[in-house]
Structure 1
Amino acid sequence: MKLVTRADLGWPASAAPTQTSTKGVKVHYEGSPVSTKLLTDHEACIAEWKAIRKSHLANKVENYSDVAYNYAACPHGYLLEGRGIGHRTGANGNQALNQAHYAIVGLVGSSGLTEPTDAMLSAIRDGIELLRKNGAGTEIKGHRDGYATACPGGPLYDWVQNGAPRPGGESTPPPSTGGGTSSSTTYTVKKGDTLSSIATAYKTTVAALVKLNGLKDADKLSIGQKLKVSGAAAPAAQPLQPFPGASFFHGGRHSPIITALGRRLVALGFGKHYTSGPGPNWTNADKRNVQDFQRSRPELAGDADGIPGPKTWAALKVPKS
């Protein structure tokens, strides 16, 4: 699961009403034109998701307390947190329908980008399974199954009607190969850990960690601090890209390591300077995004020059390319 949390997006905890169980999950689409740029630019997906939340909060007729959906799924296979776990959706048409099912929206629309990618379908399945671990029943429906609408569009609805299979023939996520268990886990905080990074690793959310441990979103973690992680499998060790050295990052450098760095920055919410998404060439956009990341971390802010050093690289946790 590639989870982008509310903390990664720079959003506060959801103000939506709480609800701990439903009959299942309803699948949605945007219902308006969606740019095909999302297919090649993950930064555009993040911008799209933020724009949806902004428009919902500005909607005085519906009077939304937050973005309407519990999660969104993008063409690159990222699950983007909305209201998240334990919150009633606002997307299904009326209060009774909202109470019956949680909601996940695929970032496809009525024109432009209309066909979900396999990665998007896998991300929707990730969201369904995550919600099932946290109170959702087994039903998987389209928005139109409860409300007079074209949502979730033809391609997504056909997939739902077919049982919402995971691409490759699996109806549920493959078993973990990390040797973890699904029982509660006590995690010891290590150097560089954040609530967001721990939530991502354990396929849970910052909100769930906060609630379980009596924390606040803004609480800073201490090395050696014990955190409870419940209802999530312990993660397999993720292979990380070794630090290539600060001298690696200069104009003219071309490498898949730079692409991996850019994608990691975007996933963490630090990709605003890209105009066409991360790529293999080291550019000023990469440097400025790294600088924004450094400024966001107190231990790095004093040397926010935009060039990854050992401390910055360790904090970024760039997956091996």
Structure 2
Amino acid sequence: MSVKIISRAAWGAKPWDNDPTSSGPAAVALSSRTEFFVHYDGATPITRTGVAVPRAIEAQHLAQGWAGIGYNFVVTQAGEIFEGRGWTRQGAHCPGHNVSGIGVQIAVGGDQEPSAAALAACRALYDEACAKTGRTLAKKGHKDGIATLCPGSILYAWVQAGMPATGYTPAPGGGGTAPSTPARYQVTINGLVYGYGAHGDHVTAVGKALVKKGFGAAYTVGPGPDWTDADTECYAAFQRSLGYSGADADGVPGESSLRTLLGTLPGKTVAPAKATAPAFPGRDRFGPGKSNASVTQLGKQLVKRGYGAAYTVGPGPKWSDADRRNVQAFQRAQGWTGADADGYPGPETWRRLFA
């Protein structure tokens, strides 16, 4: 069977760390992948279907303080494959194996029988992983990496049997050959999305740079703002010119090749805020032990601008750590880091917040 992966955007994933400015989990080269781990949901059978499956897992993992859904992919009983951390991000599914291992949850629990569609989808995903990495990955259950009952007795027996699937024919040689169609996954670099389906002026800039360097043969029109298979094919040719091969030359940018092509790494820019804020009341109005109307004014504006996630009550006149965390989230959204995003408002934070 072919592998159709439902992207994070398509199933409505939240931003990494529930923060639009977060760059998310660390990138992992496909060449680092050597294992394929199968997981289940736990002791309780799963009744959720469709997008409710990855959304429930995401909510649980965010509540645990993780960047988002910990698995690289999630497979439902209907055979749907949902993108979690995808092919090229570090997982959070098995300590000590999150770089080397691709983690896939089949959404069953307890003694629940996995459907034929789920097993076939997982096996097809395994074969795709082998093709992308250029090697035959070790088939493992979660318990092979750490002491746990996961993936349960039924799925673990299936893994040990070689992951057979009804109606599924493994690729010749068990995987490891290059895909016959252009890669269609996406990566995010410096806040901008690249790969099939990405859109924006930054996509046009990549295409124009490829043409300028002599790697535009696949274009029949364009280049333009929508990333197509032609962009992928042209970028793959450029990657090969740099000495990359196999999965490292699949036509989806990495930071190194993109910097080589453009001379820099473009990033999202934040438009300057309009200088229409009320007068800044002074730094001494904010911080531990402070209680005044300015704290309430600040909190209400944070909520109005969409940065009130840390509040469980309020906002109110007494400064709390929730105020600090909300201010910090707003500061990070401006692209600030370090001492510039310490969670305590200064004149520029105030001006931008109220602009």
TM-score, structure 2 as length reference: 0.48
1:47 aligns with: 52
The alpha-carbon deviation at position 125 of structure 1 amounts to 1.5
Is the Cα contact below 8 Å between 2:38 and 2:103 reproduced in 1?
yes
Is the Cα contact below 8 Å between 1:3 and 1:81 reproduced in 2?
yes
The alpha-carbon deviation at position 213 of structure 1 amounts to 5.2
Letter in 2 for 1:205: Y
Change (3 A) 1:207 1:173: farther
Out of 214, 219, 225, the residue aligned to residue 200 of structure 2 is 219
Structure 1 segments, 4+ long, off by >4 Å, are: 208-218, 220-224, 229-233
Q: Deviations over 1:45-68 (max 9, x none)?
A: 311211101110111xxx311211
Is the Cα contact below 8 Å between 2:39 and 2:104 reproduced in 1?
yes
Structure 1 range deviating more: 130-139 or 99-108: 130-139
Letter in 1 for 2:231: L
1:117 aligns with: 115
The CA distance in 2 between the partners of 1:49 and 1:173, in whole Å, is: 31
Q: Deviations over 1:123-178 (max 9, x none)?
A: 11222123223337520100011111111111111110000123236334899xxx
Aligned length: 198
2:241 aligns with: none
The CA distance in 1 between the partners of 2:116 and 2:24, in whole Å, is: 32
2:108 aligns with: 108
Letter in 2 for 1:53: E
Change (3 A) 1:154 1:5: same
Is the Cα contact below 8 Å between 2:36 and 2:139 reproduced in 1?
yes
2:20 aligns with: none
SS at match of 2:155: helix
Q: Deviations over 1:78-112 (max 9, x none)?
A: 111000011111101x2x2223311000000115x
The CA distance in 2 between the partners of 1:120 and 1:173, in whole Å, is: 22
Letter in 1 for 2:75: A
Is the Cα contact below 8 Å between 2:187 and 2:195 reproduced in 1?
no
The alpha-carbon deviation at position 10 of structure 1 amounts to 2.6
Letter in 2 for 1:5: S
User: Where in structure 1 are there 5+ consecutive unaligned residues?
Assistant: 39-43, 176-180, 186-201, 234-321
SS at match of 1:27: strand
Q: How does 1:81-230 map to 2 (within 5 A)?
A: 81-92=83-94, 94=95, 96-110=96-110, 114-135=112-133, 137-168=136-167, 170-172=169-171, 182=179, 185=182, 204-207=184-187, 217=198, 219=200, 224=222, 225=224, 226-229=230-233
Q: How does 1:248-263 map to 2 (within 5 A)?
A: none
Letter in 2 for 1:98: N
The CA distance in 2 between the partners of 1:131 and 1:137, in whole Å, is: 8
SS at match of 1:72: strand
The CA distance in 2 between the partners of 1:10 and 1:108, in whole Å, is: 21
1:29 aligns with: 40
Letter in 1 for 2:43: S
SS at match of 1:97: coil
SS at match of 1:26: strand
Letter in 2 for 1:3: I
Change (3 A) 1:213 1:16: closer
Out of 17, 22, 25, the residue aligned to residue 26 of structure 2 is 17
1:251 aligns with: none
Letter in 1 for 2:60: S
Q: Deviations over 1:183-203 (max 9, x none)?
A: 675xxxxxxxxxxxxxxxx6x
Structure 1 range deviating more: 220-229 or 79-88: 220-229
The CA distance in 2 between the partners of 1:155 and 1:122, in whole Å, is: 15
**Aligned-residue CA RMSD in angstroms?**
3.6
The alpha-carbon deviation at position 69 of structure 1 amounts to 0.3
The alpha-carbon deviation at position 215 of structure 1 amounts to 9.1
The CA distance in 2 between the partners of 1:183 and 1:121, in whole Å, is: 23
Letter in 1 for 2:186: V
Letter in 1 for 2:156: Y
Is the Cα contact below 8 Å between 2:46 and 2:107 reproduced in 1?
no
Letter in 1 for 2:45: V
The CA distance in 2 between the partners of 1:19 and 1:219, in whole Å, is: 25
Is the Cα contact below 8 Å between 1:85 and 1:207 reproduced in 2?
no
Is the Cα contact below 8 Å between 1:25 and 1:137 reproduced in 2?
no
Change (3 A) 1:28 1:76: same
1:262 aligns with: none
The CA distance in 2 between the partners of 1:15 and 1:121, in whole Å, is: 29
1:261 aligns with: none
1:76 aligns with: 78
Is the Cα contact below 8 Å between 2:71 and 2:85 reproduced in 1?
yes
SS at match of 1:104: strand
